[in-house]
Structure 1
Amino acid sequence: MLNYRYLREWLETEFGSEKLALLFIDIDDFKFFNDNYGHHIGDQALRLVAEILTKNVRTADKVIRFGGEEFVVILNNADGKQAYEVAQRICLRVSELRETEFKYPLTVSIGIALYPDDTDNKHTLLQIADSAMYVAKSRGKNQIIRNGSKSHAIN
């Protein structure tokens, strides 16, 4: 899995001619999950979420561990509809971990930003997706938000 160093390098390169979507993903209530069920279970959850992200994107896309319980996914040549479909799949697969791996609920909040629709600056694209993710968390978590748009709860 790529790390924050890769993301920093990517942020300094120019956009190509293709559109792209950036997903900013945060595991909901991860501190509570870690504190109540143990760091071993928390580490297992991080690995499984990373695996879900990798399995639900194309090989040309990038999955990046941003830090802590946050991830960034870069979907190359993807529009808003495609980004939302990927985000929905990720939310669903993560929530299914309760049935297959854990006795405890695990969900993610996802913010989406698009190039060139939302901005032509990579740093701003990351900020927009990050802000959208925080809107998702503030609206109840387990949601997908695109650039402050109407929330979509995944239940």
Structure 2
Amino acid sequence: MNLTMINLSLLNFAFFFNRNFIKKKGKNNVQVIYEDAFSMRKAILKDNACKAGIYMFTNKTTGDIYVGQSIDLRKRFLNYFNLSYINKRNELVINRALIKYGYSKFFLTILEYCDISDLDIREQHYFDTLNPKYNIQKIAGGSSRGLV
């Protein structure tokens, strides 16, 4: 069993025993898991305003994941929740998957909140650990990470 499957199993386990999302406080970060990216979008936007961090979309149907970073997660998620925006940027694999499966078929996980200066290092850690399928170029900080 690979690391991605183990992580997905842990996420699935967590969802059975918690309501819509879980918050875990760690030393330097907070992890939040939203069970349904569509129905939780207002909370997602509110909770992540002016926060930098690393996030992950997980396809509930296929188990495929996308890892990304943002200096302002709310602004990034506003783009994801704008269907017109993702239709125009359909060269990104994650955008095509969101259109194909629908937002409600995705978990959205805030892997961690971190300082802007640490974003590339932390994102690279998750690329190396999780090997996300929806990310084509797995080099942190690259502008075409999810392009096909």
Q: How high is the TM-score relative to the length of structure 1?
A: 0.25
Q: Which has the larger radius of gyration?
A: 1
Q: How high is the TM-score relative to the length of structure 2?
A: 0.26
